C-alpha cells in the first residue's frame, strides 16, 4: 500500500471502491486527486495516475476510500470513566459520584483520546471540554486560559480538525435545584460536609466569556482548530450565564454546544421549573440558533423539535452513551423527518468502551429501528449523512469536510474492503450498507487529514503511542491513588439524598 505523510503537492488516493459521500454512488477502481490538501478531482484510477504520474500515492488495491468521520460530541477522556473506576449506572446515580472522578493530565488524555478517534477513522471532532476539577488558584483567568491553550496544543499535535467547545456551568452541583436549597434539605451530619464540597469563591462567568473571546481571537484564520461557546446544560446554567453566552455567540458569530434533555429527570425539571419551555428560554436569550447543537436530546418534546427546526438548531446524537447510562433512545427519526440536522457523537461512552466511531455508526443505525414512532426508518445512507455532513455542520465545517468531492478537504479513511466483507459478501450488498453493518477500527488501514497520512495500519505515524500510553497510564494511576477516600464515601452517603430530592425530579 502507498503512503504519504506530507500535505503539499499532488496526491492520489486510490481504491477498489471510492465512496465519495452519503448521497453519491460508489465508484469502482477510482482515485481521489488532491492538491495541497484539497480534493480537485474524482475519477478512474488508471486515467488519473496516467495524467498525474508525479503525484504521491495513498490507498491501494483492495481498499475502500471514503470521507473521514466526524465525532460531533466527545469529552477528550483518553481513559474512560469506566476505566477510572466508575462502572455504568443510570444517569443520575452515575453523575452523583462524578465529583470524585480523578483528573488525568489534560494534555496527555486529550492527545491519547484524539489518537483513539483517529485510528477509528475520525478526522474532525467537537471537544466538549471539562474545566479542571482542582480550580485555578489565585489566577482563575490566567489559569483557565492556560488550560485551554494546553488543549489547543494537544489538538495541534493530534492533527485532527477540532471544534473546541469548553463546557461551563454555574449552578446545581448536586441536583437540578440550587445548591443552597439542596444542602438545607440534608440532615445535619451531611449538610456541613456537602457545603464544604462546593464552598469557596465561584469563578465568575466573565472569566469564561473572556477566555473564549481571547481564544477566538488567537485562533482567527486557523484552518484546523476553532472555538465554540457552551453552557453545560439548561439545568446547569443560570440566566446570567445563558445571557452572557447568547451575547458572546452573537458578537463572535460562533457556535454554541450544550447538553440538553439527556434524562427523564431532566425532562421533569424542565416541565416543573420552566413549564416545558427550557429550550424556548435559550432561544429567547440567543442560545438556540442555526449554529447551536445540543448533545443527547433523548427527551425532546414535539414542541422542542419544532422550535429547533424553526431555528435551524442541531442535535449531536450519542446513541451508545444513552444506552449505557439508561437514558433511552433519542427521537432521531423524528428529528430527521422534521429537517433537524443530526450528527453522531461518542460521548466517550461507545458500547465497547473503545471509542470506535465506526461501531458507534452501527449502534445508531440499529437503535433507531427500535424507537417507536410513525416516522420512516433510516437507512445506511441516512446514518452516514449524519456521521459526515451532520457532524461537519455541528463542527462548523459544512461544505468543507464530510465528502470527497472537488472543493472539499482531503480528509479520508482507507478501509480494507476484503477484510470488511469477511469470508464472503454478495456483490449485491450495497457499499454504504457494508460500511455501516461491518466496518470497525481493525479494518482501518489509513487515515488522512488534509491529504496527510496520519495513521497507518492502526497506528498514528506522528505520535509514539507506546510512550504516550505509558504516560497516560502513569497519570491515571497517580490520579486514582490521590483520590481522598473520605470524599468518595461522602458522595456515596449523599447519593440517596440526591436521588430522592425533590420527589418530582
Ligand atoms: Zn457529553
Residue-wise pLDDT for 14-41, tens only, equals 999 999 999 999 999 999 999 999 999 9
Q: Which pLDDT belongs to residue 505?
A: 55
- Residues listed for the chain: 505
- Contacts with 457 (C-beta within 8 Å, 6 or more apart), sequence order: 445, 446
Cα(63) to centroid of ligand 1, in Å? 34
**Cα 303 to averaged position of ligand 1 atoms, centre (Å):** 23
154 CA from centroid of ligand 1 (Å):
20
- What is the CA(131)–ligand 1 centre distance, in A? 13
Please name which of 244, 276, 241, 239 lies closest in space to residue 260, comparing C-alpha atoms: 276
* Nearest-10 crossing angle of helices 357-370, 431-438: 100
Check whether 485 has a pLDDT greater than 70: yes
SS (H, E, C) 355-372: CCHHHHHHHHHHHHHHCC
Cα(347) to centroid(ligand 1), Å: 5
Q: Residue 122 Cα, ligand 1 centroid: separation in angstroms?
A: 17
384-399 pLDDT per residue, tens:
999 999 999 999 999 9
How remote is the CA of residue 295 from the centroid of ligand 1, in Å? 7
pLDDT digits (tens, 9 = 90+) for 115-139: 999 999 999 999 999 988 777 888 9
Q: Which CATH class is domain 69-378?
A: alpha beta
pLDDT band at 94 (very low <50, low <70, confident <90, very high): very high
Measure 95 CA to ligand 1 centroid, in angstroms. 12
Which of 149-158, 224-233, 493-502 is predicted least confidently?
493-502
Per DSSP, 12 falls in state E
Q: Which residues contact 372 (CB under 8 A, 6 or more apart)?
A: none
Exposed (0-12), middle (13-18) or buried (19+): which is 295, by Cβ within 10 Å? Answer: buried
Going from the Cα of 294 to the center of ligand 1, the distance in angstroms, rounded, reads 10
Distance (angstroms) between ligand 1 centre and the Cα of 103 equals: 16
* Residue carrying the nine cell digits 435551524: 312
Measured in angstroms, how far is the CA atom of residue 353 from the centroid of ligand 1?
A: 14
Q: What is the pLDDT of residue 202?
A: 85
Please tell me the distance from the alpha carbon of residue 115 to that of residue 97, in angstroms, as a whole number.
28
Q: Taking 80 as the threshold, does the pLDDT of residue 7 lie above it?
A: no
Q: How far is the CA of 150 from the centre of ligand 1 (A)?
A: 20
What fold does the segment set 10-67+409-458 form as a domain?
Urease, subunit C; domain 1 (2.30.40)
Separation of CA 75 and ligand 1 centre (Å): 6
State the distance from the centre of ligand 1 to the C-alpha of 406, rounded, in angstroms. Answer: 33
Taking the centre of ligand 1 as the mean of its atom positions, its distance from the CA of residue 351, in whole angstroms, is: 15
Mean per-residue pLDDT over the chain, rounded: 95
28 CA from centroid of ligand 1 (Å): 39
Quote the ligand 1 centre to 223 CA distance (angstroms).
25
The structure's pTM equals: 0.97
Residue with cell 477522556: 77
Measured in Å, residue 345 CA sits from the centre of ligand 1 at: 9
Place 187 in a pLDDT band, splitting at 50, 70 and 90: very high
> Does an H or E element contain 205, and which?
helix 205-218
CA 233 to centroid of ligand 1, rounded, Å = 10
CA dihedral defined by 487, 492, 496, 497, rounded to 10 degrees? -10
Measured CA to CA in angstroms, residue 8 lies from 60, 347, 465, 484 at distances of 20, 34, 25, 51
| Ligand 1 centroid to residue 412 C-alpha, Å | 26
Q: Which residue has the cell 506530507?
A: 6
Residue 69 burial (10 A CB sphere; 0-12, 13-18, 19+): buried
Position 504 pLDDT exceeds 90: no
Cα 235 to ligand 1 centre (Å): 14
> How far is the C-alpha of 140 from the C-alpha of 145, rounded, in Å?
8
What is the Å distance from ligand 1's center to 210 Cα? 23
- CA torsion through residues 327, 331, 336, 338, sign: negative
| Domain boundary assignment for the chain | 10-67+409-458, 69-378
Residue 147 alpha carbon to ligand 1 centre in Å:
19
Q: Which helix (DSSP H) or strand (DSSP E) does residue 296 occupy?
A: strand 292-296
Amino acid at each position: 500500500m502507498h503512503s504519504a505523510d506530507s500535505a503539499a503537492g499532488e496526491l492520489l488516493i486510490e481504491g477498489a471502491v471510492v465512496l465519495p459521500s452519503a448521497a453519491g454512488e460508489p465508484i469502482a477502481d477510482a482515485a481521489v486527486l488532491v492538491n495541497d490538501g484539497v480534493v480537485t478531482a474524482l475519477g478512474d484510477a488508471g486515467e488519473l495516475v496516467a495524467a498525474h504520474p508525479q503525484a504521491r500515492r495513498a490507498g491501494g488495491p483492495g481498499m475502500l476510500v471514503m470521507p473521514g468521520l466526524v465525532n460531533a460530541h466527545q469529552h477528550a477522556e483518553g481513559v474512560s470513566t469506566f476505566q477510572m473506576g466508575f462502572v455504568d449506572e443510570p444517569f443520575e446515580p452515575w453523575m452523583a459520584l462524578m465529583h470524585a472522578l480523578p483528573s488525568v493530565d489534560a494534555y496527555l488524555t486529550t492527545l491519547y483520546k484524539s489518537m483513539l478517534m483517529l485510528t477509528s477513522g475520525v478526522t474532525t471532532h467537537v471537544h466538549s471540554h471539562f474545566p479542571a476539577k482542582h480550580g485555578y488558584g489565585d489566577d482563575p483567568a490566567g489559569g483557565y486560559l492556560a488550560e485551554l491553550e494546553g488543549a489547543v496544543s494537544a489538538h495541534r499535535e493530534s492533527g485532527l480538525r477540532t471544534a473546541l467547545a469548553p463546557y461551563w456551568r454555574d449552578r446545581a452541583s448536586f441536583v437540578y435545584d440550587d445548591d443552597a436549597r439542596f444542602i438545607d434539605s440534608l440532615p445535619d451530619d451531611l449538610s456541613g460536609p456537602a457545603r464544604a464540597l462546593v464552598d469557596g469563591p465561584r469563578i465568575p462567568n466573565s472569566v469564561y466569556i473572556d477566555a473564549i473571546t481571547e481564544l477566538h481571537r488567537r485562533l482567527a484564520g486557523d484552518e484546523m482548530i476553532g472555538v465554540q461557546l457552551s453552557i453545560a446544560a439548561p439545568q446547569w446554567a443560570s440566566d446570567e450565564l445563558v445571557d452572557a453566552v447568547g451575547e458572546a455567540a452573537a458578537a463572535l458569530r460562533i457556535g454554541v454546544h450544550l447538553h440538553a434533555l439527556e434524562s427523564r429527570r431532566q425532562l421533569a425539571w424542565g416541565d416543573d421549573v420552566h413549564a416545558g419551555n427550557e429550550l424556548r428560554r435559550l432561544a429567547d436569550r440567543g442560545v438556540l440558533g442555526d449554529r447551536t447543537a445540543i448533545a443527547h436530546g433523548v427527551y425532546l418534546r414535539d414542541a422542542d423539535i419544532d422550535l429547533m427546526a424553526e431555528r435551524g438548531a442541531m442535535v449531536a446524537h450519542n446513541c451508545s452513551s444513552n444506552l449505557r447510562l439508561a437514558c433511552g433512545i433519542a427521537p432521531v427519526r423524528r428529528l430527521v423527518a422534521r429537517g433537524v440536522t443530526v450528527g453522531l457523537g461518542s460521548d466517550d461512552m461507545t458500547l465497547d468502551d473503545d471509542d470506535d466511531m465506526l461501531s458507534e455508526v452501527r449502534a445508531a443505525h440499529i437503535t433507531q429501528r427500535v424507537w417507536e414512532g410513525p416516522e420512516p426508518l433510516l437507512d445506511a445512507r441516512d446514518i452516514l449523512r449524519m456521521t459526515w455532513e451532520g457532524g461537519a455542520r455541528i463542527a462548523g465545517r459544512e461544505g468543507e469536510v464530510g465528502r470527497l468531492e472537488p472543493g472539499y478537504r482531503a480528509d479520508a479513511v482507507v478501509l480494507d474492503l476484503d477484510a470488511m466483507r469477511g469470508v464472503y459478501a454478495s456483490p449485491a450488498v450495497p457499499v454504504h450498507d457494508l460500511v455501516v453493518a461491518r466496518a470497525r477500527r481493525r479494518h482501518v488501514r489509513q487515515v488522512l487529514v488534509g491529504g496527510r497520512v496520519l495513521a497507518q495500519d492502526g497506528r498514528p505515524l506522528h505520535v509514539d503511542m507506546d510512550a504516550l500510553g505509558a504516560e497516560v497510564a502513569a497519570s491515571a494511576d497517580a490520579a486514582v491513588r490521590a483520590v481522598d477516600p473520605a470524599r468518595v464515601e461522602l458522595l456515596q452517603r449523599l447519593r440517596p439524598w440526591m436521588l430522592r430530592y425533590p420527589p418530582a425530579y
